[in-house]
Structure 1
Amino acid sequence: MYETVLLPTDGSEVAAGAVEHAIDAASRHDATVHVLYVVDESVANAAPGLAMGEINEKLEDEGERAIADLEETISEAGLDTEAAIRVGTPDEEILKYMDDVGVDLVTMGTTGKRIVERERVGSVTDALVRKATVPVLAVPRT
């Protein structure tokens, strides 16, 4: 049923909480877990006084750390993993990635770093639930 499970992350605790569900789904279907971090262009553009390249570099470093931690956890579960970093608008880049690799299931946190304190579905998760052509498992903060 699922050959490719996508685990988008922004490095937040809520996003990391979705990894158990991604591992469970991938284990049941012998699927590969793809970990994706999107450097949000709007964050880089909103920091006056700092060079956009410098901000993107810091955000990419953050993404590499987040991905490395998740890849290690997924590999320890005995699953194959792929990882990527993209730059752009998170929901748009996630949707493009889904098309590019043929994702069968998305497993993600309900909120990300920017709104982790709010008790509502995050805008990226909401957009994916509405626009994705595959199931999206939205994992709440626990």
Structure 2
Amino acid sequence: MPESERSTEMFERILLPTDGADSMDAVVRTAADIADRRDAAVHVLYVIDDRAFLTLDDEMKDEVLSELTGEGEAATDRAATRLREAGIDVTTGIRQGDPADEIVSCVGSADADLVAMGTRRGDYANSMVGSVSQEVVARAPVPVLTVNLVTEE
């Protein structure tokens, strides 16, 4: 939608990437709060990181893809259920590729005007989620809200 046709309201469509971890509940709660206050819709996204396929034998790829798709469906369903229980309009999607690339690409296809995602503190070079969130913050054409994910150490 061209910028001139957009409503003056901000945050009408929120993109919420999830990896399915229990710690993502904090991001879901944050997105639900923003969506409720703004009467916004949320698009929950799970990205199957196909970089994991680089070392797999071809005959194993289908089995692994099926397993990861199942994990993605469970992750998006869990977040979507919590959002719907809060009265939020929700859509879900699963993509395959480099997570940061797919999240940034989905901003456009979902017509999102905010990304709400988790990040784990610590060494970004050694944290896939951290490096993904850092990349999305740097490249996304819309604001990115990061929520620190608390994990047991």
Q: Which residue of 1 aligns with 2:79?
A: 70
**2:137 counterpart of 1:129:** yes
Q: Distance in 1 between matches of 2:52 and 2:82?
A: 28
Q: Distance in 1 between matches of 2:123 and 2:18?
A: 17
Q: Which residue of 2 aligns with 1:100?
A: 109
Which of 81, 87, 100 lines up with 1:91 in the alignment? 100
Q: Which residue of 1 aligns with 2:146?
A: 138
**Residue 48 (structure 1) shift:** 5.1
Q: Distance in 2 between matches of 1:49 and 1:134?
A: 38
- 1:112-123 to structure 2, matched below 5 A, reads 119-121=122-124, 122-123=130-131
User: How many residues were matched structurally?
Assistant: 136
TM-score (normalised: structure 2): 0.83
**Residue 29 (structure 1) shift:** 0.7
* Deviation by residue 1:27-65 (Cα, 9 ceiling, x = unmatched): 111000100000100123334586111111100000000
Which of 12, 15, 19 lines up with 2:24 in the alignment? 15
Q: Which residue of 2 aligns with 1:115?
A: none
Asked whether the 8 Å contact 1:8–1:15 carries over to 2, the reply is: no
The one-letter code matched in structure 1 to 2:133 is T
SS at match of 1:51: helix
**Gaps spanning 5+ residues in structure 2: where?**
1-9, 125-129
Q: Which residue of 2 aligns with 1:60?
A: 69
Moved more, 14-23 or 100-109: 14-23
**Residue 119 (structure 1) shift:** 1.6
Runs of 4+ in 1 over 2 A off after TM superposition: 13-17, 44-50
Asked whether the 8 Å contact 2:69–2:94 carries over to 1, the reply is: yes
SS at match of 1:11: coil
SS at match of 1:27: helix
Radius of gyration: which is bigger? 2
Identity of aligned residues (%): 40
Q: Distance in 1 between matches of 2:111 and 2:123?
A: 29
RMSD: 1.6
Say which structure, 1 or 2, has more relative contact order (CA 8 Å, 6+ apart): 1
